Amino acid sequence: MSTVRVLGRLDQNLAWDGDRLYEDADIQVGSAPPYELRGAAAAVRRGPGSSWRILRDPLGLNKLFWARADDGAIDIAARPWTLLQAGHRFEEILAIPRGCVLDVIAGEPPAAPDSIVPAGWFSADGPTLDVDKAAREISSNLERYLAAVAAAHPTAPVFVCLSGGLDSSGIAALTRKHFPAAVAVSFDLDQPGGQASQDRVVARRLAHDLDLPLLEVTVTHDQLFGYLDTVLVEGIDWRDFNVHAALVNAALADGIDGALPARDPATPVLVLTGDLANELLVDYHQERYKGVTYYELPRLPAVTLRASLVRGLDSCHRETGVFAAWGLSVVQPYAVAVDAYLALDGHFLGREERKQQLCREIFGDLVPGYVYSRPKVRAQAGSPELGGGVLAACVDRGYDAAWLRHRFAQLHDVADTRTLDRFIRAGRYRTAVPSLSGEVN
Amino acid sequence: MITQPTIASRIETFVRTQFEVDPGDNGFDRTIDLFELGYVDSVGFAELLAFIAEEFGVEVPEADLLSEDFLSIDGMARIVSRLTATAEARSA
């Protein structure tokens, strides 16, 4: 059968053209590729006769997987697990490449896809910006994008994740401006004695200073581990760093869901996050816990490492995928400023205080001074040597990297875990471009 | 034009040095699956890709990254040789 079938729901599109959000009607077979598209998008839209346009955003934030059915049809879904439920084997499942724009037309030879990934993003000859100019461009994009999201979804309940770090604080400040009814939400792991983490303490103070109500989500270790299977399936990843971050998001999503009154299925619930800034500014480091190193990074120069981290966004769904399991739509504002971030040069990326400097230029006094001067703490890491974070909780319970890998394989009916190394490699999913002629590009 | 054996030799030198392969390891050669046998992990893979881009001036397309050929040094050399030849033909 020469057809394309979409199984299950696709991730919410929140992509932007620099002026407004894309709508379904903007995605048409035969139209020019949307090279200006930024933000999350994945679409399969039917055109005249037996024709379809398939599209994924240039960072690969929203996911699309496919497999060929016995009847010749192309089955497409947002999660491999959905394709497994339809009878496909994990080994057959492929991703649509990020940034791919493809028209699939029955009876015609496979078309060469267009790529909307800008050629200069990862090139040594790409455009460069000094910090002032980059900050102005980032600030302008964030403001205009959030205004566009607010205009497109004026009645949506809005939440903003607040870790107490710089990235989420900046987004929270802008959220307060564009979504006056927004609620901040903060994660914490229940500790003996009920003591709040430093993240929670700062989140309380910041929510008060930004005049945002705060939803406090505090979970026990058992509650946290109860999300593991959901996280592995919806996050489409088994690697420990991403699973740990996804567990935090699952707890937040569950907390938000529980706090919502009756929901209108036609109105999305928006959750804004400060995600992506760490990849864009290479603001990651490895962690030590009980003498073992976790979250190891490739030994690469800053610009090369940034390219590797940003390309790697293709192969994890720790934000959008996990929140979607609770019917929540994630807005990742930093995604629309990616061009300006990638134009920051290696000299700037090598500075210890790069994030503080850039954020001061972007957010200025919108973010209180104590946030700028606060040492970085990750919710998933906590204070690793002392424990308290998700990393320590998982390791202590035996949910280490090997366990996560094995469990992911088990959930996806994969007998040989080496298969997983052919599914994600160098931060990218196994990809191919489908056609209805049976050939694969 | 750089030859395929030269490419293989440079990749082998990089892998041996970067991933601290024991000089006396008789199980290591240019035909083995580097990943399955644990010589290179996902973090090391990113380092290997960066080396190839820097050393040979080519970006390995995603289709090649996930091919069976890209598991061994000889396979990588075949892919890099093809990519450098294509790049040289374009610039000629």
pLDDT in tens, A69-111: 999 999 999 999 999 999 999 999 999 999 999 999 988 888 8
- Distance between B29 CA and the closest CA of chain A, angstroms: 20
Query: Element (H or E) spanning A288, and its range?
Result: strand A287-289
What average pLDDT score do residues A375-401 get? 77
**Which of chain B's residues have a Cβ under 8 Å away from the Cβ of A297?**
43
Question: Average pLDDT of A227-233?
Answer: 98
Reported as a pLDDT band with limits 50, 70 and 90, residue B67 is confident
pLDDT at residue A388 above 70? no
d(CA A6, CA A77): 6
Would you state the pLDDT for residue A436? Answer: 83
For residue A239, list chain B residues with Cβ-Cβ distance below 8 A. Answer: 42
* Residue A302 pLDDT: 94
pLDDT, average across residues A396-409: 96
**Closest Cα to residue A3, out of A107, A111, A106, A109?**
A106
**Average pLDDT estimate for A380-387:** 57
Of the listed ranges A161-170, A201-210, A324-333, B81-90, the one predicted with least confidence: B81-90
Residue B64 confidence class, pLDDT cut points 50, 70, 90: confident
Read off φ and ψ for residue A46, nearest 5 degrees: -80, 140
B62/A97 touch (CB, cutoff 8 Å), yes or no: yes
The SS3 of residue A195 is coil
Q: What pLDDT score was predicted for residue A221? A: 95
Q: Provide the shortest C-alpha distance from residue B46 to chain A (in Å).
A: 6
Name B63's Cβ contacts closer than 8 Å, sequence gap at least 6. Answer: A431, A432
CATH superfamily of A131-399: HUPs (3.40.50.620)
Reported as half-sphere exposure (CB side, CA atoms, 13 A), residue A127 has a value of: 9
Q: What is the pLDDT of residue A374?
A: 84
User: By the CB < 8 Å criterion, does B44 face chain A?
Assistant: yes
In this predicted complex, what is the ipTM? 0.81
Comparing CB atoms, the residue among A299, A418, A422 nearest residue B66 is A422
Q: How confident is the model at residue A126 (pLDDT cuts 50, 70, 90)?
A: confident
Domain ranges of chain B: 4-21+30-91
Whole-number Å distance between alpha carbons of A102 and A31: 10
Residue predicted with more confidence, B87 or A275 = A275
Class for the domain spanning B4-21+30-91: mainly alpha
Which phi and psi angles does A116 have, rounded to 5°?
Answer: -100, 15
Q: Does the pLDDT value for residue A396 go beyond 70?
A: yes
d(CA A51, CA A28): 10
pLDDT at B66: 81
Nearest CA in chain B to A295: B43
Report H helices in A104-165: 131-152
Average pLDDT over residues A36-55: 96
Choose among A300, A421, A424: nearest Cβ to B46.
Answer: A300
**For chain A, what is the mean pLDDT?**
93
Residue A169: pLDDT over 80:
yes
pTM to 2 decimals?
0.93
**What are the structural domain ranges in chain A?**
4-117+416-429, 131-399
Q: Is the pLDDT of residue A12 over 90?
A: yes
Q: Does the distance separating the beta carbons of B66 and A428 come in below 8 Å?
A: yes
